[in-house]
Amino acid sequence: MTYARHKLSDNLETLPRMPSWVTSGRTEPPEDVAFLSGAALGHLHLVLGRGEVPQALLRERLALLAAEACVAFSGRSERAGELRDAVHLLRPGDLPGPAGDTYLAWRRAVERPVSIKALGRALPTLEPGQIAAWLDAGKGAPVTRAAMALEAVLREAPRAEEAALILADAALAQTLGWDHVVPLLAAGLKRADLRKQGVDLKLACHRALVSSAAEAVRLSTDLARRAAHLKAVAPKLRAKGAGDAVEMFLTCDAVAPSALPLPDRAARRLCDRLVDLGAVRELTGRDTFRLYGV
């Protein structure tokens, strides 16, 4: 076990770190900002190819950040904890509310490989033909295509920030050759950026991607470490269904005990055991209606 733990630690140490010069924060000429965003995306591309990074979990955590940003763009005050509650504590027949709908859209956007059908699940009010047209609104390099998709949506539907940002990230993913949407732009852009057009919007997207790609790399390293620890302690879990429960924690941002494939009491005990082992965290700080995550 000690050898295995050291080997896991060694593997995580090989995850490449974002060079400090990429995120120096200096104000740069437009061509330099474009170079830095390309470097940041190239570095993230390497990290996303690493097997030790829990990809589905990373996308879910980034989807939460994107949803939080979109909710703020709409003038609402819900933060990450409230978005989790709105989705994970839903009872049959309940509606998630506007903020919860935004979070659900982002979760669905990252769930399946990029396609018109998958994006239609995330944006059910849009026709497939409209999604395809907006997705293909731009040509050229990845950030240029993403910015043009963003601008095309907001030109025709100025209040559709959520759809615009999902489709912009989808265009970015397709151009970079990524199978899934990786939410990046929403968390990096400012509300005022969404009113920009042309070269100004493209520059804003470049700036946003420098910071958001760096955050995605940092989060990848953190989640890889946490996932490795959860896998290491999994053999200690004797509850029937514990293996399936561990897989849920490795793919979902947050899990309610009632969602686990165990009886209620056994599920709560398993969550408490994983917290004691330092493998998962209780995310709400409450005594009841708790949520857990890596």
Q: Is residue 27 very low, low, confident or very high in pLDDT (cuts 50, 70, 90)?
A: low
- Tell me what the pLDDT averaged over the chain comes to: 93
Question: What is the pTM for the complete model shown?
Answer: 0.92
Name the token pair of 261.
Answer: 């494939």
Name the token pair of 62.
Answer: 């980034």
Indicate the fold that domain 237-293 takes in CATH: Arc Repressor Mutant, subunit A (1.10.10)
CA–CA separation, 218 and 62 (whole Å): 12
Q: Is residue 6 very low, low, confident or very high in pLDDT (cuts 50, 70, 90)?
A: very low
CA–CA separation, 189 and 46 (whole Å): 23
pLDDT digit string (tens) for 257-278? 999 999 999 999 999 999 999 9
Indicate the DSSP class of residue 255. B
Contact 183, 169 (CB under 8 A): yes
pLDDT score of 289: 95
pLDDT score of 115: 97
Domain ranges of the chain: 23-225, 237-293
pLDDT score of 268: 95
pLDDT digit string (tens) for 64-109? 999 999 999 999 999 999 999 999 998 888 889 999 999 999 999 9
Percent of the chain with pLDDT over 90: 86
